[in-house]
Chain A
Amino acid sequence: MITYSFNVEKENFVDAGVVSSKVKRILKQIGIPTAVLRNIAVACYEAEINMIIHSYGGEITLDIDDEGNVTLVFADVGPGIPDVEKALTPGWSTASAQARQLGFGAGMGLVNIKRVSDTFDLQTSPSGTTITITFRVA
């Protein structure tokens, strides 16, 4: 098992996507197939953007097991998602004007993440949200 951790800062729009770019590069180097890699990159990028837009910041952890299967954990420190059902509804968004100017806030983030991953788990409370997604590569 190989593990990498990356910090994500609240509202750091300048570096939005830098972690996802690193994750994609790492996985490309170890030979993850292109189609799976693209799904991982899309999910990671959407989740990273969500953390920047909506959370107080947190950490992204990338785990690669011995068979090459990938787990990504996005753990932030709050404020939590008040209504998960709404957050998972396509088109529903609470994104700021700044996020919308960057081309986000279409209400598709969580929907996209769930769609491209093999498993999706979301735990949320006012002290933080943790999204765990996995991708079978082997």
Chain B
Amino acid sequence: MKFLEIANILDAYLPFRNSDVLDKEYQYVFASDLMSDVLALVTMDSEETILVTGLVNPQTLRTAEMLDISLVILVRNKILTEDLIDQAQDHGIQLMTTKFSMFETCGLLYEKGFKVSR
């Protein structure tokens, strides 16, 4: 599924639109606030994986950068700083924020057929 469809499902706010990933298909989800868990568990499919997290800081984006994750969903309407938006754009990472909780976000994506990242 493409990120604009995902944004629609999650009624999400997009601080910018990264045209490089506009047509990219995502099919896996990894949800965690522990970046070491993300680094341990997302490897094989990370280019097609969405990171869902409530952790909003530069390390969230660094973790995504290291794993070639290009879509990060921030739950519960987290506020994005200009620095964070700049960092995401510099590294080609699409950010979106949703009002939904981690549980609701994962439920909505699971319902649409998203699978766990191996």
Contact = CB atoms under 8 A, between A and B. Distances in A.
Interface of A: 14, 16-17, 20-21, 24, 34, 38-39, 41-42, 44-46, 49, 101-109, 111-112, 115-116
Interface string B63-81: 1011110000000000000
A73 to B, nearest CB: 19
Interface stretch (B14-22, B34-42, B96-104, B108-116): B34-42
| Chain B interface, >50% SS class | helix
A103 B66 contact: no
B59 interface: yes
A135 to B, nearest CB: 14
Contacts of A41: 65-67
Contacts of B66: 17, 20, 24, 38, 41-42, 44-45
A39 B43 CA distance: 8
Interface of B: 33-37, 39-40, 43, 46-47, 55, 57-60, 62-63, 65-68, 91
Given A39-B43, A45-B39, A102-B55, 5 more contacts: A14-B58, A17-B65, A41-B67, A107-B36, A109-B36
Nearest to A34: B68
| Chain A interface, >50% SS class | helix
A115 B36 CA distance: 13
B33 to A, nearest CB: 6
Given A17-B59, A38-B43, A104 B36 contact: yes
Residue among B39, B46, B57 having the largest count of chain A Cβ atoms under 10 Å: B39
A102 to B, nearest CB: 5
Given A39-B43, A42-B43, A106 B37 contact: yes
